[in-house]
Structure 1
Amino acid sequence: MLQLGVHVSVAGGLERAVDRAHRKGCQAFQIFTTNPRSWRSRPISAETARLFSIRLKGCGLETVVSHMPYLPNLASPREEVYSRSVEALTDELLRCQLLGIPYLVVHLGSNLGAGRRSGRERIAEALQKAIIDSGSEVLILLENSPGTRNSMGSTFEDIASIIESLPRQSRRLGVCLDTCHLFAAGYDIRTPQALERTLGEFEGCIDPE
């Protein structure tokens, strides 16, 4: 079933995002649980988590998505950045679990010239470690990239290869299709017929299991 929503602000408290989404008539909404331009995240108090859950149930909103901060790079060949990125992903999975958010959108990052194979291996290792270490039931949604230099995940085949490189029992993974990124990467979505062809190509690459 089609559900429509927007990204909403968490200014004044995470729980206020639920009220904002409800007032806008959203059936789904996305938030940042922390400052998206910082490595540091403020701990979520038990009271904030309680209020967030109460307001979600009160509004009847179930489709809630968190988006990872911008700084982590899961494909980075630089050890310090990579380590911090894996820690940030693990932390965000725990934050989502605490708030009852079922989905987390993740950028796949850039291999910084180390090559696509290296980038895929780094991403797969990061995803598996974060999933195991967090013990979270949150579904990670891999977001397609616009195809800029060294970026990972700009093609359906690239995303599929990352998913398939994880052991099946560790694959708490889905895909977030950014339509702006799709078009920038060369996929035609300008007409209903073109969109149908592109989605058919997507379904032919990504294993629903």
Structure 2
Amino acid sequence: MPLIGAHMSIAGGYYKAVEAAAEVDMNVVQLFCKNNNQWRAKAITDKDVSLFQDALAKHNVDAPLCHASYLINLASPKAELWEKSVEGLKIEMLRCERLGIPNLVFHPGAHMEATLEEGIERIIQAIDELHQQLPDCPVTLLLETTAGQGSSIGHKFEHLQAILEGVKQGERVAVCLDTCHIFAAGYPISEEKDFKATFEDFNKLIGFDKLRAIHLNDSKKDLGSRVDRHDHIGEGKIGVEAFRHMLNDRRFKKIPMYLETPKGEENGVLYDAKNLATLRSLIK
């Protein structure tokens, strides 16, 4: 069975995200390890850790993935924000280590008034700094593909390739691919021939050995719109066939996949359960 889950709320405790995933028969889960809209974070207690780990074991939920704060911008040309971002990501790496979460996904950042090349160099510098400060931290940083809004970096596979090749300890960095983001960035994946071509490009520039997680999202906006708006599986501009291709491609078989589709319910059925059922119906 493919590893499919969703981003779940940590309201009431980290273990609550695991329980929520298990309630809709998911076998992996993504969560925040702190309030994603604040820099500050309260300490993680021994009880927090034990409840979280116990819930993972009890419900057979694997591959917990942490998503870093949206405030972090490692590409910022502004020294104060860059330093705050490095410290912020360091805190999140340590929180992941405390909770036993192996991977931490983050948006590479926006270069703002600086050039793209300068932004990429800032990201490389930041990651090298983090690795130097945390030489023994087992948490792998995952660069997320982006839609390309504003001056965000990561909407071209070449951007991530440059970062991966530029970081001194490249083995400590990998990639999280978001289906909505790459589609909005201009990579077609709906038709089988386009899907094959896009992932041949991905494999050539980044490599499947660097793909550690996938965000499964349809897109409310058109191909190449560079606008990040998630939609339910099969209800957006990508359409259901792209997800059929992915779920039946052996290259993705062991890579955990996480829904980040809109929350809520319809006629008493959670949207997460509906999206999960749609995905599982596509598996041959």
Q: Structure 2 counterpart of 1:179, which letter?
A: T
Offset from partner CA, 1:94-135 (integer Å, 9 cap, x none): 100111111111101101120011111110111122233233
- The answer as to whether partners of 1:131 and 1:170 remain within 8 angstroms in 2 is no
Deviation of residue 83 (structure 1)? 0.5
Instruction: Letter of the 2:121 partner, please give it.
Output: E
Q: Which amino acid aligns with 2:130?
A: A
Q: Is the 8 Å Cα contact of residues 188 and 194 (structure 1) preserved in structure 2?
A: yes
Q: Which residue of structure 1 aligns with residue 123 of structure 2?
A: 123
* CA distance in structure 2 between the partners assigned to 1:192 and 1:22 by the alignment: 32
How far has the Cα of 1:170 moved from its partner? 4.7
Partner SS, residue 177 of structure 1: strand
Query: 5+ residue gaps in structure 1?
Result: none
Which residue is equivalent to 1:205? 205
Q: Distance in 2 between matches of 1:175 and 1:117?
A: 19
Q: What amino acid maps onto 2:100 in structure 1?
A: G
1:140 is matched with 141
Q: Is the 8 A contact 2:164 2:170 kept in 1?
A: no
Larger radius of gyration: 2
- What is aligned with 2:6? 6
In the other structure, the counterpart of 1:180 is 180
> How far apart, in 1, do the equivalents of 2:48 and 2:90 lie?
20
1:72 counterpart residue number: 72
Letter in structure 2 aligned against 1:53: Q
Give the counterpart letter for 2:71 in structure 1. Answer: L
Counterpart for residue 109 of structure 1: 109
Alpha-carbon distance, 1:15 to partner:
1.4
Aligned residue for 1:118, secondary structure, equals helix
Give the TM-score normalised by structure 2.
0.70
The alignment of Structure 1 onto Structure 2 pairs a total of residues equal to 208
TM-score relative to the length of structure 1: 0.94
State the shift of 1:6 in Å: 0.6
Q: Deviations over 1:170-199 (max 9, x none)?
A: 531111111111111110012232212111
Deviation beyond 6 Å, 4+ runs, structure 1: none
Work out the CA distance in 2 between the residues paired with 1:57 and 1:172. Answer: 26
Supply the AA of the counterpart residue of 1:162: I
Contact 2:36 2:68 in 1 (8 A): yes
In the alignment, the residues of structure 1 paired with residue 170 and residue 193 of structure 2 have an alpha-carbon distance, to the nearest angstrom, of: 35
